[in-house]
């Protein structure tokens, strides 16, 4: 996997927690995590991120609090999916470390400068922090080596509305701003591919009930999704974006220009036209990714389950 410095931008709900666990388990060079309002409010997202890192013994990774609301659009959260605590009732103990003094946009600017030409930036929440950072320092578009976005539904229906994926719906203005920039390399990982990778009930049931570390965390945060009546499994939306950040070859992508509807009934709709600079993921090697994910977090997969 890619050994480039990695920065994550999260609105830590259940699949964000799994994405952090994957990055740590895969041995990524995780240089910082920024938080943003989305799945839950910014206070909760930041606290959840600190708790997850502490649980994983990775509390030396710096955490930077970010935007508390979208650029323009009204704010929505998703307790119906992530629970009142944002972590599906995982009940992780409080962290013993605190967030950093820099804000998330300031941290993105600083990391882009420090790791110019190398930094991989993976955003698995609304794009608010990245859009603000671009406004603060437009040069980051040239400095960041690769941007990976978990957001959008390019060829499939949305999951927040028939037109829009959740992250795109929450801050469509920020996402559109990000898509219009001329990044060195930008990947869009939408529902078209994330719905192809999931922890099935069989995989979940094979995780020991007393598992600790990354395996225990994944079991705890995915419990509500597995045991709930509305879904058959736990989609790995955010972990797949991390996977693309580490190894883009895990997906097959095409080049498109993307614009985002920012208001009205189709708010958050991601509209593609062939020939742009955005690498939109169209297919994923689901077996290879699931093997990578399960190996990294220490849970059984396939014949191991």
Which residues are designated catalytic? 237
Q: What are the E-state strand segments in 190-264?
A: 198-199, 234-235, 251-260
The structure tokens listed for 49 are 């991120």
Which residue bears the tokens 């309002």? 37
CA 125 → CA 69, 115, 269, distances in Å?
12, 22, 16
Q: Judge whether 4 and 232 are in contact, CB under 8 Å.
A: no
287 Cβ contact partners less than 8 Å away, ≥ 6 residues apart: 302
Quick one: which of 197, 193, 218 has its CA closest to 206? Answer: 218
Helix (H) or strand (E) holding 34: strand 29-35
Number of H helices, E strands in the chain: 13, 11
User: Strand 270-274's sheet: what is its strand order?
Assistant: 63-64, 29-35, 5-10, 120-123, 146-150, 186-189, 278-284, 251-260, 270-274
CA distance 171 to 74: 8
Which residue bears the tokens 């396939």? 302
């Amino acid at each position: 996997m890619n050994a480039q410095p990695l920065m994550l931008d999260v609105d830590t709900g259940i699949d964000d927690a799994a994405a952090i666990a994957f990055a740590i388990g895969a041995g990524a060079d995780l240089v910082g995590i920024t938080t943003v309002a989305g799945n839950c409010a910014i206070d909760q997202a930041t606290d959840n991120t600190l708790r997850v890192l502490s649980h994983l013994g990775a509390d030396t990774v710096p955490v930077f609090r970010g935007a508390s609301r979208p650029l323009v659009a009204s704010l929505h959260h998703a307790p119906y999916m992530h629970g009142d605590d944002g972590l599906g009732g995982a009940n992780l103990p409080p962290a013993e470390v605190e967030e950093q003094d820099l804000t998330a946009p300031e941290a993105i600017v600083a990391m882009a400068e420090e790791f110019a030409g190398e930094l991989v930036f993976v955003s698995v929440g609304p794009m608010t922090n990245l859009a603000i950072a671009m406004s603060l320092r437009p040069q980051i578009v040239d400095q960041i080596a690769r941007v990976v976005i978990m957001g959008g539904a390019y060829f499939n229906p949305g999951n927040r509305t028939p037109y829009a994926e959740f992250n795109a719906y929450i801050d469509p203005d920020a996402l559109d701003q990000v898509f219009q920039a001329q990044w060195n390399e930008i990947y869009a990982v939408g529902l078209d591919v994330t719905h192809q990778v999931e922890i099935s009930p069989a995989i979940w049931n094979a995780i020991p009930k007393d598992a600790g570390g990354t395996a225990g965390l994944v079991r705890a945060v995915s419990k509500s999704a597995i045991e709930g009546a509305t879904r058959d499994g736990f989609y790995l939306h955010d972990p797949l974006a991390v996977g693309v950040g580490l190894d883009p070859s895990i997906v097959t992508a095409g080049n498109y220009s993307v614009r985002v509807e920012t208001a009205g009934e189709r708010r958050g709709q991601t509209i593609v036209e062939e020939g742009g600079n955005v690498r939109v993921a169209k297919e994923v090697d689901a077996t290879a990714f699931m093997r990578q994910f399960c190996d990294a977090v220490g849970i059984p997969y396939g014949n191991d389950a």
